[in-house]
Amino acid sequence: MADTLANPELREAVRADVENRPGVYRMWGPGDELLYVGKSIRVRTRLLSYFRAPRGEKPGDLIRETARIDWDYVPDEFGALVREMRLIQRHRPKYNVQHKRKRAYAFVKITREPAPRVVPAAQVVDDGSTYYGPFPRVGHVAHTIRDISHVLGLRDCPGSTPVVFDDQLDVFDGRETLERSPACLRADLGTCLAPCCGRPRARDYAERVRQARRFLEGRGHAPLTILSERMADAAARRDFEYAALVRDRLERLRRFQEELTGFRGEVDALSFVYRVPGHRGDDRVHLIRGGRLRDTLPHPKSRAARERVAGRVDAVFGAFEPGPGGLSPHEAAEILLVARWFRLRPDELSRTRSPQDWLTAKRPSPTPASSLAPPPVPPLREAAHPPS
C-alpha cells in the first residue's frame, strides 16, 4: 500500500506551486545531491504521482530520499527531451538510467592511406579519414566491417604495414629483388588483394575502396552482389554448408545496408528550422543542424523579432562546419536522440523548413541562397536501432 504520508510538506509544496505544463524537474537529496532528472508534459501530475508510489519501488524510494524539488517549464516536449538528456549527461544523477551510462559509440572509418582500410573506430578525430556513424551497437559494427573487408578484399592489417602496388614496382631495381611475401594468411585465402606484397594494381584496389564507400552511403551493392554469386556457385557445387555460411553473411550485410540507407536520409535532412507549438501559444523555433539542437528561440511575432531570429539562423546555418572531428559521446547521443524523435514522429517533419525557405518567408529582402547553404554534411550515419 502506498505511504500517503511520505514527505507530506514537500507534497503540499508541489500541489501549491507546480503547474501542469511541459517541463524538466530535478529531485535533490538532503546533502544537495542531485538524485534524479525527469521531464513531463504535465509536470504537476507527474510529480504528485511519486507521492503515491509504494515503498520498495523506485519512485517510492526516490521520493522518500528527496529533500527538495525544482523545475523549469519548457514550452514543448521536444525542448524538454533534449534538456533532460543534457542535464542527465552533465550531472549523472543517482536514480537516472537512460542517458546516464557512458555508452560506447562506434564509427565506421575509411582511412586516408595509400591502401585505405575500412575499420571500426571508437571516436572521431581530424585525421583526414571518412567517418560513418555514430552506431550504438559496437560489436555488431565490428563484425560487419570484417565482412565488408573480406568480401571486397580490403586489407585490415595495421596502418604501419608497408604497401606497394603492382604498377609501382618499377621504382625498385628489378622485380626479382623485391621480397613479396604476404604479411598474413588472407592473401593466400583470397580474402585480401594483398597490397602488402604488390599483388593488386593501385586502380584496382581503389575501385574496391570506392565500392565500400558506395555501400556505406547506400548507393552501391557490390558486396551483396559478390556474396550472391558465391552463394549460387556453392549451391551449384552442392557445397551447402559453405552456401549457408555465405547466406548468413549476405543477410547481415543486407540488414546493415538497410539500416544505413534508412538513416542516411534522416541525418542528411536533419538540418532545418523546426517550429513547435508551445504551451498557451508560447511557440518555439528550434535550430537543428547535423542532428544537433544548436539554439532555441521564441517564435517571432514582430518585424524586429523576425530580424533577431533571422540573425541567429544566419549564424547557425551559415557558419563553417569543420566536419566530424572532435564529435563527443554527448554530441553523438544527441544525434541519435533527435533522429529517433523524428523517426517515431514523421508528421513532425511537416513543421520544419530549410533555413533558406525560412529566411525567404520571414525577411523582406532575402539573403542570396548561396550564402546561406551550409557546407555538405559529412557522412555521419546511425544504425536504425536507437540506444536503449
According to DSSP, the residues that pair with 320 across neighbouring strands are none
Q: Is the pLDDT of residue 139 over 50?
A: yes
Confidence of residue 251 (pLDDT cuts 50, 70, 90): very high
How is the chain split into domains, by residue range? Answer: 8-91, 106-255, 270-372
- Give the per-residue pLDDT at 177: 38
According to DSSP, the residues that pair with 39 across neighbouring strands are 24
Q: Is the pLDDT of residue 266 over 50?
A: yes
Work out the average pLDDT over 96-118.
Answer: 80
Q: Which of 4-8, 14-18, 312-316 has the lowest mean pLDDT?
A: 4-8
Q: Is the pLDDT of residue 386 over 50?
A: no
> Rounded to an integer, what distance in angstroms lies between the CA atom of residue 240 and that of residue 234?
7
- In tens, the pLDDT along 216-246 reads 877 899 999 999 999 999 999 999 999 999 9
Confidence of residue 125 (pLDDT cuts 50, 70, 90): confident
Q: Is the pLDDT of residue 43 over 90?
A: yes
- Give the per-residue pLDDT at 306: 94
CATH topology assigned to domain 8-91: GIY-YIG endonuclease (3.40.1440)
According to DSSP, the residues that pair with 135 across neighbouring strands are 106
Work out the average pLDDT over 54-66.
Answer: 93
Around Cβ 272, how many Cβ atoms within 10 Å? 20
Work out the average pLDDT over 296-302.
Answer: 95
Residues 382, 256, 248: CA angle, nearest 5 degrees: 155
DSSP state of 183: S
Cell numbers 557512458 correspond to what residue? 102
Confidence of residue 2 (pLDDT cuts 50, 70, 90): very low
% of the chain beyond a pLDDT of 90: 58
Give backbone dihedrals phi and psi of 226, rounded to 5 degrees, phi first.
-60, -45
> Rounded to an integer, what distance in angstroms lies between the CA atom of residue 191 and that of residue 174?
28
Tell me the average pLDDT of the chain: 85
> Rounded to an integer, what distance in angstroms lies between the CA atom of residue 319 and that of residue 240?
56
- Give the per-residue pLDDT at 388: 32
Strand ranges (E), the chain:
23-28, 34-40, 68-73, 106-110, 118-121, 130-135, 272-276, 284-289, 292-298, 352-353
Q: Is the pLDDT of residue 369 over 90?
A: no
Q: Is the pLDDT of residue 385 over 90?
A: no
Q: Is the pLDDT of residue 171 over 70?
A: no
Confidence of residue 178 (pLDDT cuts 50, 70, 90): very low
202, containing H or E segment: helix 202-216
User: Among 143-157, 246-260, 317-331, which range has the highest average pLDDT?
Assistant: 143-157
Query: Which of 336, 335, 331, 332 has its CA nearest to residue 388?
Result: 336
% of the chain beyond a pLDDT of 70: 82
User: What would the grid cell of residue 349 be?
Assistant: 517533419
**CA atoms lying within 13 Å on the CB side of residue 336:** 25
- Give the per-residue pLDDT at 374: 52
> Rounded to an integer, what distance in angstroms lies between the CA atom of residue 301 and that of residue 134?
38
